[in-house]
Amino acid sequence: MTLALSDSERAMADGAQGEGAAMALRIVAEAARLLGAARLLPIASAHIDGAVYHGDSGTIFAETLVAGGARVSVPTTLNVGALDLTGCSRQRLEGHEREMARRMMRAYLDLGCAPTWTCAPYQAGHRPAAGSDVAWGESNAVVFCNSVLGARTNRYGDLLDIACAIAGRAPDTGLHRLENRRARFVFDVSGLDRAFFAQETAWPILGALYGRLAGDAVGVVAGVNARASEDHLKAFGAAAASSGAVGLFHMAGITPEAPTVEAALGHEAPEETFHITPVMVDEARRMLSTVSDAARIDAVAIGSPHLSSAEFAELHRLIGRRRLAVPLYACTGRHALADIERAGWRAELESAGVIVVVDTCIVVTPILATIDDGVLMTNSGKFAHYTPGNTGYGVVFGSLAECVESAVAGRPIFGGAS
């Protein structure tokens, strides 16, 4: 299929708006050609995952765009960087890497991006309208945007995301196209006890199982006979996008494109139906832990995706006036930090032993202490997936209440107070 550019797109590619914009448009057009798209789509907004430092080339790329006079042409938020610019946490990135990470974060601000520095921009007010086309990076943000907000985006990778934001265009392919958003399979949870869905852990556990079964396919979750909050859907989607390559899920009666199972399927027969059993759930829960018999924990980390204000309220309630035996890293964005400061909770949490991590998180930059055979406890399906490979720590999975009780005791405690 031949890619057709409009006159204005050709002019941008030829340098009418400067070399930085031309570079961005050419990148988007080449990606579209490789993906077989016939045209580019105008986008309403972007969320950039490419601002976290993974090497000097990323910094040089961003600074090259700045030097070429590029600016984003649509509202654009930023995912986490490698530095906590607020000074809350105790990150250990130093020397050349620290300087290059700082330069990268500065370059993205110079490109006109908003300094949100969060993996949950939808909690910070960036909520595109249902049916609008956007270019979002970061796996959990993408799946939430598609599934819960009903906007349309592919999983845009580093560098292509900022190119789309500058060009104001994205390839007309993948999940931008209505025919690719139809569910192909059913993930039937009607056989599970309703009480299970009242547990906070139900959502990351089911999300992790869904992701492993789905891969990158679109499915519909059927039989959820419970209220699902945005934090529940956030946890489900993040786990699904980490264990699989999920960019969109439907949840019948809950998400906007799935008023019914039949509607999500486009009134066609499913290619496959997975009947989820308690045994499958127990196995999925077990797989979220890499350490089964830990006598101690060295840290707790929560907030992947970043903690909402409601989740901070629950953390504050669970800790009460107690002190923690091990550090509890609470990763969040500036939007929630402002809320807990207004409530007076930040000082209380930090006095108890909580380390608030802002602008970044524990799996993208060195924050955790270097400990041989370190063990981290988390309630996040995403942290459970990435922590071993990114930090070297083993993982114990539990609920937020269990994480708090374990942090107080310094060892895994299950069945903690709620």
pLDDT tens sequence across 382-412: 999 999 999 999 999 999 999 999 999 999 9
Nearest of 32, 49, 77, 70 to residue 167 by alpha carbon: 70
Predicted pLDDT of residue 169: 98
Predicted pLDDT of residue 91: 82
Amino acid letter, residue 186: V
Predicted pLDDT of residue 81: 97
Domains of the chain: 7-177 (3.30.499.10), 182-287 (no CATH), 299-409 (3.30.499.10)
Predicted pLDDT of residue 307: 98
Give the chain's residues under pLDDT 50: 417-418
Predicted pLDDT of residue 355: 97
Encoded tokens for 273? 């139906």
Predicted pLDDT of residue 106: 98
Nearest of 117, 281, 269 to residue 185 by alpha carbon: 269
Predicted pLDDT of residue 73: 98
Which residues 6+ apart lie within 8 Å of 347 measured at CB?
none
pTM here? 0.96
CA-to-CA distance for 72 and 122, rounded, in angstroms? Answer: 19
pLDDT tens sequence across 247-295: 999 999 999 999 999 999 999 999 999 999 999 999 999 999 999 999 9
Handedness of CA 83, 84, 89, 90 (dihedral sign): positive
Handedness of CA 311, 312, 313, 317 (dihedral sign): positive
User: What does DSSP say about strands 40-42 and 46-48: parallel, antiparallel, or unpaired?
Assistant: unpaired
Distance from the first to the final alpha carbon of the chain? 57
